[in-house]
Amino acid sequence: MEKENATLLTELILTGLTYEPQWHIPLFLVFLVIYLLTIVGNLGLIALIWNDPQLHIPMYLFLGSLALVDAWISSTVTPKMLVNFFAKRKVISLSECMIQFFSFAISITTECFLLATMAYDRYVAICKPLLYPVIMSNTLCIRLLVLSLLGGLLHAIIHSSFLFRLTFCDSIIVHHFYCDIIPLLKITCTDPSINYLIVFIFAGSIQMFTILIVLVSYTLVLFTILRKKSLQGIKKAFSTCGAHLFSVSLYYGALVFMYVRPVAAQSEDQDMMDSLFYTIIIPFLNPIIYSLRNQKVIDSLRKTLKRNS
């Protein structure tokens, strides 16, 4: 009977960020503004790169791809969260939940690979400037982007496949603001040990691999610039690399706390706070961090605004 009831389940309930009604309107307005700025900032950056031939080089190809993925992540999570602030029943169908998680898993994993690719691109550009056009050819750029997307797709397929083995009969209440794998595993009545192991192995391996590439690349970049003994160059390098590393640290730090730390150490409120960083805050900050500190992007924006005015 328990198994039969589990198979009849067609919907789940997302609790959202807070139970307090007085916070619904302020939080709705805050996250609505953040979402609109995220979409405008990221899609605007893509349009700027697309329309300026001077930005049709690997560095900006990766930057445009990162902007697209950030808009994708935010659009996967935020609209449903905004609707649920005023919904009487914060219901999501099981099929919609699985689709949301699948889209989220592809985009979040693709971003991990993109951040590592961008760090490697900066390493080649600064540490091997004469060989940069040879190493970072358009063919290699396209291959790296395709591999990043395929890595995200494969990772999402693995986790989604193992999610379909689960049944939900103990509870239909998901203590989160979107469908993510850890909150779903906490309410299943099927033994989720295999799923937790898969999350730890695959998510942990991807995060550690890409974090290592980012750290090694930026470390070599800083050593190369410090050897030049140019005070202006050192200031510029620390300013740029420091901003990039700050964004990457927030992103990876939240991911590690969510998917790699022991399950027993995870509280539901902490899970949601961690998730806010890599689903909403980082996609909002990235266009600012990676673009407003880039002189070519600023110059291109000025030319575009001047031409349109």
pLDDT confidence of residue 72: 96
Q: How many angstroms separate the CA atoms of 30 and 240, rounded?
A: 28
pLDDT confidence of residue 230: 67
Q: How confident is the model at residue 263 (pLDDT cuts 50, 70, 90)?
A: low
pLDDT confidence of residue 239: 65
> What kind and span of H or E run contains 242?
helix 231-259
**3-state SS assignment for residue 13:** strand
Predicted TM-score (pTM) above 0.95? no
Which alpha helices (H) appear in 11-170, and where do they start and end? 24-51, 58-84, 94-127, 132-135, 138-163
* For residues 148-173, average pLDDT: 89
pLDDT confidence of residue 304: 77
* For residues 127-138, average pLDDT: 89
Q: How confident is the model at residue 271 (pLDDT cuts 50, 70, 90)?
A: confident
What is the average pLDDT value for the chain, to the nearest integer? 85
pLDDT digits (tens, 9 = 90+) for 109-120: 999 999 999 999
DSSP string covering 260-288: TS-GGG--HHHHHHHHHIIIIIHHHHHHH
Residues 272 and 26: beta-carbon distance below 8 Å:
no
pLDDT digits (tens, 9 = 90+) for 8-32: 567 888 988 877 888 889 999 999 9
Domain boundaries, the chain: 2-308
pLDDT digits (tens, 9 = 90+) for 29-64: 999 999 999 999 999 999 999 988 888 888 889 999
Q: How confident is the model at residue 153 (pLDDT cuts 50, 70, 90)?
A: very high
Strand 173-174 vs strand 91-93: parallel, antiparallel, or unpaired?
unpaired
pLDDT confidence of residue 113: 96
pLDDT confidence of residue 98: 93
State the CATH class of domain 2-308: mainly alpha
Q: How many angstroms separate the CA atoms of 258 and 235, rounded?
A: 34
- Token code pair at residue 164: 């379909």
Sort 28 into a burial class: Cβ within 10 Å, 0-12 / 13-18 / 19+: middle
Q: How many angstroms separate the CA atoms of 39 and 283, rounded?
A: 9
* For residues 257-262, average pLDDT: 70
Q: How confident is the model at residue 3 (pLDDT cuts 50, 70, 90)?
A: very low
Own/partner pairs, 189-195, CB within 8 angstroms, 24+ separation: 189/2, 189/6, 190/165, 190/166, 192/166, 194/162, 194/165, 195/159, 195/162, 195/163, 195/166
